[in-house]
A and B are shown apart, each in its own frame.
Chain A
């Protein structure tokens, strides 16, 4: 009987099997020029099938040049302190639908939604990394440039986004560098990372490949983000699916490190297990957090940060299902030390962004972060003295010790701890509280703005792709 892998050996096993697949079968590179590049770099290349394979030498070099000290910064240059030390939380995205801020109506997302959703993420204390979270469907194909620019100008937190056409990567890079104050300033304190997804198993579209190579040439961090669907684009077991995830990512770690050694890379997975009743991809399922915790393990194995899909839900409104699924899909990622938990604001299986869910997610994160601290070990001499002096039947509320310590516990901003009578009298629901809070942030929160000349420069860059483009609220 074959030896059963233990949790300690999962990472070794998954790596070993990925290497086996990449050496025996390889991965598809559907572009002759890139294939030629790979061939001259030493990859075994098969022109007809457009497949490339890795060699032990290429793998060894790639893992050596792969940067192990990837950091993210605020726009100010300040280090994102939580990154690398605990799980950071990031906005979801980027679907084409949103539940309207005021009416709750399900509709196509717009440029204005991007600005508002980024502003809210800027204001929410538990959101560490910002995404546009929706696609500005009113702007056409070049909306990605506006989404990047609006993210960088409506928050000073680190931003993650991408372009969908290689024609726009240079403009996107110009935007990122302009905001940072030049290429060198950016590379010293990167406040932006991009993200690209393979089609599992073993395929990247030519357009995504061209985009990645352009970003890599500019030294901008890239997330390789698997979107495997267990039971459809990957095996139906968690371990089998993890092998597909890892194989797809490892292939491009080797490619990008070989062609552009030292490119900062992140290990990402927003994978899930297909629902065989409907053929839909449920993102609130327990398996969602479970499979993506595998990415956290593999990221650590290679020494690079992980970005893992969780804090997810299939709910259509802010209800019991949303609460259950959001927490349930975040816990495995916290448990396995995911560097980035990717999901703030998403609902309806990631297909819709919800303003109210985004506000409530901030509350959930604060609660689970507190829970994750466990019972801290410290000197208890003061507590013991206090207990002795108050035994029996003493009251600890008037003790100075209580005054100094009670605020370490979590106090909710939204959920109700009221008595039934008070709750009834207030007549507030979680939904109505979250909506009011979202409206309040949109009306009143002032993100730290970029200087007028940088904003003008961004407009100039975007106009090459969107004639007459102007920011609305300059």
Chain B
């Protein structure tokens, strides 16, 4: 009985059906099924399968993104109902945003989706964000990693400002900094003292795992 609903939850993610995933999560709660089991036996299995299909080249980004959306829809229902002491296992906590003066959204959002699909808890603070806004989110979430995106040659220098501000706030030892965006390069990342650079959303995941010292 429970297995059936876990399987359906997993399938809703594999098929990319956020409405179905939400309804199934709701149904599971009404039937008194353990929400943590729904997450671990249903959602996580589903998103792992999506990741596998992606790695094999059967799925492309649109399937991955809608799968992650479906997972998020179900999580939003299940997480508030976790029993006391229960906690979803995450690889790490990440604050993501696009730096001050830059309004580019898509690459950064894609990184967020990929990280979520790979077991990270992600707080996406949006675009055109001041260093102080990143820092507030890092503190609030007790983040392990902060990811800063810049698409313009003129705004990539803001990534350096962010790193300086994190240092001044005394958080540099607590949080790893990863940067990305079209004009950004590995050598630029080194130059400004970032902990890592990822050239696309997929390598951002392996970078985040590396920064967490977690096996991929």
Contact = CB atoms under 8 A, between A and B. Distances in A.
B170 interface: no
A166 interface: no
Given A164-B154, A279-B200, A232 B106 contact: yes
A276 B61 contact: yes
A199 B154 contact: no
A279 B183 contact: no
Contact of B182 (A205, A277, A351): A351
B106 A229 contact: yes
B23 to A, nearest CB: 27
Interface in B78-137: 103-104, 106-107, 110
A401 B64 CA distance: 65
Counting chain A residues whose Cβ lies within 8 A of the other chain, the interface size class is: 20 to 34
Contacts of B153: 95-96, 135, 137
A97 interface: yes
Contacts of A203: 103
Contacts of B188: 108
A210 to B, nearest CB: 14
A95 B183 contact: yes
A141 interface: yes
A233 interface: yes
Contact of A205 (B62, B103, B106, B200): B103
A276 B60 contact: yes
A278 B202 contact: yes
Contacts of A135: 153
A135 B182 CA distance: 14
B185 A97 contact: yes
B201 interface: yes
A350 to B, nearest CB: 9
Interface string B55-70: 0010011100000000
Nearest to A95: B183
B104 A199 contact: yes
A314 to B, nearest CB: 13
A141 B154 contact: yes
Contact of B62 (A97, A141, A164, A276): A276
A204 to B, nearest CB: 10
Given A96-B183, A97-B185, A351-B182, A233 B200 contact: no
B57 A277 contact: yes
B107 A279 contact: yes
A41 interface: no
Nearest to A233: B106
A280 interface: yes
A108 B62 CA distance: 33
Interface in A275-308: 276-280
A351 B183 contact: yes
Nearest to A94: B153
A342 B19 CA distance: 44
Interface string A76-109: 0000000000000000000111000000000110
A442 B201 CA distance: 39
Interface in A225-252: 229, 231-233
Given A199-B103, A233-B106, A351-B182, A279 B61 contact: yes
B102 to A, nearest CB: 9
Nearest to B114: A279
Contacts of B201: 278-279
A272 B201 CA distance: 19
B167 to A, nearest CB: 23
Nearest to B191: A108
B135 to A, nearest CB: 25
Contacts of B187: 107-108
Nearest to A352: B185
A279 to B, nearest CB: 5
Nearest to A107: B187
A205 B151 CA distance: 13
B183 to A, nearest CB: 5
B61 A277 contact: yes
Interface of A: 95-97, 107-108, 135, 137, 141, 164, 199, 203, 205, 229, 231-233, 276-280, 351
Interface of B: 57, 60-62, 103-104, 106-107, 110, 153-154, 182-183, 185, 187-188, 200-202
17 contacts: A95-B153, A95-B183, A96-B183, A97-B183, A108-B187, A135-B153, A199-B103, A203-B103, A205-B103, A229-B106, A231-B62, A277-B61, A278-B202, A279-B61, A279-B107, A279-B110, A279-B202
A-B residue pairs, 9 tightest by C-beta? A276-B60, A276-B61, A232-B106, A96-B153, A279-B110, A96-B183, A279-B201, A278-B200, A135-B153
